[in-house]
């Protein structure tokens, strides 16, 4: 990926990014998919699969992108397999060095990241 990002403090916070997709629903559904596939693999001694696809498209006239997030999983069954696929889109702001956030960085500075309360 090269050395394009000069500051790690400006990089996208991946856990926060995942939590923000589809208002937290993506993270919840991913958790369920991972658990269901793993359990089915153990139960049936077969291979399962979870795929996450992220596609970004600029929102014209802004410093934002639409992030299309696809969650697809296949869990083994006794006689074959079953699965689901879901696509959703979340708009995100693109900040310095490409940092992705749900709100512009300059508007987030007045919110305490630990407590979520508005400062001063």
Contact predicate 16/105, CB 8 Å: no
CATH dotted code for 13-108: 3.30.565
State residue 104's pLDDT score: 84
The pLDDT value given to residue 48: 98
Average pLDDT over residues 51-74: 97
Question: Is residue 16 pLDDT above 90, yes or no?
Answer: yes
Distances (CA, A) of 120 to 11, 46, 104, 109, 117: 27, 56, 19, 11, 9
The mean pLDDT of 35-63, rounded to a whole number, is 97
Confidence class of residue 28 from pLDDT cuts 50, 70 and 90?
Answer: very high
User: Mean pLDDT throughout 8-32?
Assistant: 90
pTM of the shown model: 0.76
Element (H, E) at 81: strand 81-94
In the predicted structure, residue 114 carries a pLDDT above the cut 80: no
pLDDT computed for residue 108 by the predictor: 52
Best mean pLDDT range from 46-50, 59-63, 103-107:
46-50
d(CA 21, CA 56): 13
């Amino acid at each position: 990926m090269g050395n394009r990002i000069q500051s790690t403090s400006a990089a996208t916070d991946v856990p926060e990014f995942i939590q923000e997709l589809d208002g937290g629903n993506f993270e919840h559904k991913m958790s369920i998919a991972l658990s269901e596939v793993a359990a089915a693999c153990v139960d049936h001694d077969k291979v399962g699969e979870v795929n996450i696809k992220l596609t970004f498209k600029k929102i014209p006239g802004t410093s934002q992108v639409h992030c299309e997030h696809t969650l697809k999983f296949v869990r083994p069954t006794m006689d074959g397999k079953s699965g689901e696929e879901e696509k959703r889109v979340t708009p995100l702001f693109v900040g310095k060095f490409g940092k992705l956030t749900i709100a512009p960085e300059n508007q987030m500075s007045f919110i305490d990241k630990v407590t979520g309360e508005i400062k001063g």
